Amino acid sequence: MPGFVLRRILKSVLVVLAIVVCNFLLIHAAPGDPATVMAGQSGAADPQYMEQLRRQFGLDQPLTTQLWIYLRGVLQLDLGYSHRQQAGVAGLIADRLPATLLLTGAAFLIAIAGGVTAGALAARRAGSWADSLITVIALAFYATPLFWVGLMLVLLFSVYLEWLPSFGMSDPGLALTGPALWWDVARHLVLPAVTLGLFYLAVYARLTRAAMLEVLDQDFVKTARAKGVPEGRVLRAHVLRNALLPVITFAGIQAGQLVGGSILVETVFAWPGIGRLAFEALLARDYQVLMGVFFVTSVVVVLFNLLTDVLYALIDPRVEVA
């Protein structure tokens, strides 16, 4: 087991490094640099100003030098400095990461809990109207654009019913602290987390249902039933446990996709997370921040994949960790 984990970690580090290099090249292949963006936004420029900015941003160096400097920094866990925002990239990301982790974590819980329950229910009553209903609803969520669901929820719960706030993570005007602040954040969290969660809930519901049906068909289940094990126990102990494997595999892959989805959700709900940070950095050509976000998300995804592998091994002892 330790050897396996070590090998996996080594591989992951290589993948992350490859991603860093690729992103660097991709981002620098784009026309325009942070200096032109800043000039464009301030309404005036002259050659001296442009040169000042480029020198300050280190853009006057050859590309390979810039890449080397960046890589050396990353290896020392130094993500660089955003000259545009006059702040360290690590700090900028650290400021935003908790918000995104909270959002995606909540969405993930909603999706897994809701999806597995709905899928298990549907599989247990396969063919019944409840199954059809769950399947249809899951399909419907799966087929609806994420941002669209967000807009509709805002219309319903913020505009018409006025139950929940429609944007932001808390109300800074109230200057809350302690439990009151947490309650405020929780209220702000509901709509974005549900929006992000619903789509994946649909995915997990479908996956769980399919996986359970497959397992239900297998001999060991038939044997257990034949031996008179109560149906509920069969489902919990034998079926669900095995059906969770594909769900977990998918969840590992999906960890990265949640970050992508959070760009949309963070835009709709003005959630101050790294999805929006990345999108704004992209539009403003804030290279260092963009590459930093990519680095961090890649690391998170790789960690998730590792975790999935370990979980996989724990749930299903038959899987060889080789």
Partner 1 sequence: MNLTRRNLLAGAGSAPLLLSAQEALSQGAQPKRGGVLNIILNPEPPILQIGVNNQTPTLICGTKITQGLLKFSPSLDPLPELAKSWTVSPDGLEYVFRLQENVKWHDGRPFTAEDVIYSVMTFNREIAPRLRGVLSGIGEAAAPDPHTVRFVLKQAFQPFLLCFDATALPIVAKHIYDGNDIRSNPANARPVGTGPFRFVEWQRGNFVRMERFDDYWKPGQPYLDGILWRVIPDGQSRRLAIQSGQVQMTTATDIEPFDIPALRQAPNLNVTTRGWEYFSPLFWFEVNHRVKPFDDKRVRQAMSMALDRNFIVNRLWFGLGKAATGPVASTTRFYEADAKLPPFDVSKARALLDEVGLRPNAQGIRGSFKYVIPPYGEIWNRMGEYFRQAMRQIGFDVTLESTDAGTWGSRVANWDYEATSNVLYQYGDPSLGVERSYVSSNIQKILFTNTAGYSNPKVDELFAKARVAATEADRRAAFSEVQKILVDDVPLLWVVEVNYPTVTDKRLHNAVQLGTGDHACYDDVFLS
Partner 2 sequence: MTGLLRRFTRHPGAVIGAVALLLVLALALLAPLLFPGSPWDMAGAPFSPPGEDGMLLGSDSLGRDVAAGIAYGARVSLMVGAVSTIVSILIGVALGALAGYLGGVVDDAVMRFTEFFQTIPSFVLAILLVAIFTPSITSIVAAIAIVSWPPVARVVRAEFLSLRGREFVQAAEVLGKRPLSIVLTDILPNALSPIIVLASLNTASAILLESSLSFLGLGDPNLMSWGFLIGSGRSVIRIAWWMSVFPGIAIFITVLALNLIGEGLSDAMNPRLRKRGAP
Would you tell me which residues interact with partner 2 (CB under 8 A)? 11, 15-16, 18-19, 22-23, 26-27, 29-31, 139-140, 142-148, 151, 155, 159, 203, 206-207, 209-211, 213-214, 217, 246, 250, 253, 256-257, 259-261, 263-264, 267, 278-279, 282-283, 294, 297-298, 301-302, 305
Query: What would the two tokens of residue 75 be?
Result: 């290896």
- Contact between 34 and partner 1 by CB under 8 A: the answer reads yes
Closest CA to 103 of 319, 219, 275: 275
Comparing CB distances to partner 1, the nearer of 154 and 221 is 154
Question: According to the binding rule CB under 8 A, does residue 177 interact with partner 1?
Answer: no
Q: Is there a contact between 151 and 270 (Cβ–Cβ < 8 Å)? A: no
DSSP letter assigned to residue 175: -
Task: Name the minimum Å distance from CB 206 to partner 1.
Answer: 31
How many whole angstroms separate alpha carbon 129 and alpha carbon 2? 48
Residue 271 has which token pair?
A: 């959630």
Min CB(130)–partner 1 separation in Å: 37
269 vs 294, beta carbon nearer partner 1? 269
**116 phi and psi angles, rounded to 5 deg:** -65, -40
Should residue 52 be labelled a site residue for partner 1 when binding is judged by CB under 8 A?
A: yes
Q: Is 43 in the site for partner 1 (CB under 8 A)?
A: yes
* Closest to partner 2 by CB, 162 or 217: 217
Contact (CB, 8 A) for 65 and 11: no
Residue 206 in contact with partner 1, rule: CB under 8 A: no
Binding residue for partner 1 (CB under 8 A) from 20, 38, 194, 196? 38
Task: For 291, list phi and psi in degrees, rounded to 5.
Answer: -65, -35
Q: Which is nearer to partner 1, 206 or 276 (CB)?
A: 276
* End-to-end CA separation in angstroms for the chain: 8
**Whole-number minimum distance, CB 36 to partner 2, in Å?**
15
Q: How far apart are CA 311 and CA 147, in angstroms?
A: 32
Q: Contacts with partner 1 in 82-121 (CB under 8 A)?
A: 82-87, 92, 95-96, 99
Cα–Cα distance, 13 to 11 (Å, whole number): 5
Give min distance, CB of 256 to partner 2, in A. 4
Place of tokens 């994420």: 146
- 106 or 215: CB nearest partner 2: 215
CA distance 90 to 86: 12
